[in-house]
Structure 1
Amino acid sequence: MVYPANMPLWDEEVLHAYAKPFKKPLATVAREQAATYGVKNTGLAGVLAAILGGSVPDSTMNVLLTEGLRNLAGKTVEELSNLPGIGKDKALRLVAAFELARRLASLPPEEKPAIRGPEDVAALFVNEMRHLEKEHMVVLLLDTKNRVVDRETVSIGTMNSCLVHPRELFKSAIKRNAAAVILVHNHPSGDPLPSAQDREITRRLVEAGQIIGIEVLDHVIIGDGNFTSMKAKGLI
């Protein structure tokens, strides 16, 4: 079959419809960004879209963004339900999110244990670590007043060894803006005296901490109901 030279192969209206760029709703784009980069790394639109979903009309998203957080936090379920594309279910979710934020803000400050010496470290770990069958290396993250900010297990080894790389140990300390750290690990044998490997690992970690500005205050080794502080023994 031969087509006439002047006969179009495509319907122009259909071709134009397919060629027209597709514009995603603001809520969909904002929700995708929140899912990709994390909610805390997006703006208010991303937070709202993560709660409400991506099906909210652009006009409604613009109203919510124009209102601002303070005004939004005071809205009732009924007021929000009247916005196009919201409905009672989405309005309830949004009101509940603001109520959760209010309750979190009203909580009293969490008591953070302060570390005054190796005995305080041992009190936190002896009962927990004395019966472990493998060596566990834990790092205590401290603030400028030697209060515990967080703790993290950075390595689980064998019955008589536990290797840890400075990169893994200090990654959490940098992320949590810790001023100093204390290393804690157990000896399944029950004998808390530091081995040659313990001394070498500690030396490397102390040197790495000096380079990045996070001091290694101590390395406490937990045995069966007892402990050893490498700081107290003059090994740090």
Structure 2
Amino acid sequence: MNTKKPLIHEMNIQERPREKFEHFGPDKLSDAELLALILRTGSRNKSAVCLSEEILDLDIPGIGLEKLYHLSKKELTDIPGVGDVKAIQILAICELSKRLSKLKAREQISFCSPESIARYYMAEFRSYRQEHLMLLLFDSKNHLIGERLISKGTANASIAEPRDIFSEALRAGAVSIVLIHNHPSGDTTPSSADLTVTHRIYESGELLGIQLLDHIIVGNSDYRSLKAEGYLHL
């Protein structure tokens, strides 16, 4: 039985991604068809749609298009039919998506709300396979004056030292800080290491006069506020 899928030029005109887009609109295209429009071409024996389906079927974290956030350039170019140009196009689209998500969220963000902070950074953090720790810096009026990526950990642990955090806070003239980091597994339950590091930073901040307002852990679509859950007694 021949299960070979047709190339783009072998499809009926109304089934081709570009023509389908023009006649019915982008919302009528599948994820693979939309990605195929970005790739433009497939390989010698594989249509752009088939190539897109192969990318979206990779055995990596995420579902469907979410998988694109987790792919590196090398992983993409390891796929037959995906060269440097196609890999860069995909990664550029992912970066644009993250920036657009942050722009939209910025209009509604309140840095007094753990949920608002978590939603703002979630699109960026869900693309990481390792733990990343971000430091948010605030002035005396609780205005955000900067953000710093403090550390990148292994798949299971992020390393953070109080001296790294407070050297950045002192350099920026911050009077309060918020920590936010991701759990690549998606489980936002704080580990014993998370709690230990949080308390060390909180106590160090008390000595320096720089208050740790919260430590937020984000997963794929969930978050935990250590302050809201009583781990920080402010």
Task: Give TM-score, length-normalised by structure 2.
Answer: 0.52
2:205 aligned residue (193, 204, 209): 209
Give the whole-Å Cα distance in 1 for the aligned partners of 2:213 and 2:157: 22
Q: Kindly provide the amino acid, as one letter, of the partner of residue 164 in structure 2.
A: E
**Shift of residue 117, structure 1, vs aligned partner:** 1.4
**2:148 matches 1:161:** no
> Secondary structure of 2:190's partner?
coil
Q: Kindly provide the amino acid, as one letter, of the partner of residue 124 in structure 1.
A: Y
Contact 2:177 2:210 (8 Å CA) reproduced: yes
1:196 aligned residue (189, 192, 213): 192
Give the whole-Å Cα distance in 2 for the aligned partners of 1:131 and 1:166: 26
Contact 2:175 2:211 (8 Å CA) reproduced: yes
**Shift of residue 177, structure 1, vs aligned partner:** 0.7
Alignment of 1:110-149 (within 5 A): 114-149=110-145
**Shift of residue 153, structure 1, vs aligned partner:** 0.6
**2:219 matches 1:223:** yes
Give the whole-Å Cα distance in 1 for the aligned partners of 2:166 and 2:120: 21
Q: Kindly provide the amino acid, as one letter, of the partner of residue 122 in structure 1.
A: A
> Secondary structure of 1:231's partner?
coil
Contact 2:189 2:224 (8 Å CA) reproduced: yes
**Unaligned runs of at least 5 residues, structure 1:** 1-110
Alignment of 1:68-147 (within 5 A): 114-147=110-143
Contact 1:114 1:148 (8 Å CA) reproduced: no
**Shift of residue 116, structure 1, vs aligned partner:** 1.6
Distance 1:161 1:133, change over 3 A: same
> Secondary structure of 1:137's partner?
strand
**Which deviations, in whole Å up to 9, do the C-alpha atoms of 1:25-50 show, x marking residues without a partner?**
xxxxxxxxxxxxxxxxxxxxxxxxxx
> Secondary structure of 1:197's partner?
helix
Partner residue, 1:233: 229
Contact 2:110 2:117 (8 Å CA) reproduced: no
**Shift of residue 114, structure 1, vs aligned partner:** 4.6
Q: Kindly provide the amino acid, as one letter, of the partner of residue 199 in structure 1.
A: L
**Which deviations, in whole Å up to 9, do the C-alpha atoms of 1:43-77 show, x marking residues without a partner?**
xxxxxxxxxxxxxxxxxxxxxxxxxxxxxxxxxxx
Give the whole-Å Cα distance in 2 for the aligned partners of 1:114 and 1:209: 23
4+ runs deviating over 2 angstroms: none
Distance 1:206 1:155, change over 3 A: same
> Secondary structure of 1:190's partner?
coil
**Unaligned runs of at least 5 residues, structure 2:** 1-106
Give the whole-Å Cα distance in 1 for the aligned partners of 2:166 and 2:151: 12
Contact 1:137 1:184 (8 Å CA) reproduced: yes
Alignment of 1:35-74 (within 5 A): none
Give the whole-Å Cα distance in 2 for the aligned partners of 1:213 and 1:231: 18
CA RMSD of aligned residues (A): 1.6
Alignment of 1:17-36 (within 5 A): none
Partner residue, 1:59: none
Give the whole-Å Cα distance in 2 for the aligned partners of 1:198 and 1:175: 25
**Which deviations, in whole Å up to 9, do the C-alpha atoms of 1:152-175 show, x marking residues without a partner?**
011110011011111101111101
**Shift of residue 123, structure 1, vs aligned partner:** 2.2
Task: Give TM-score, length-normalised by structure 1.
Answer: 0.51
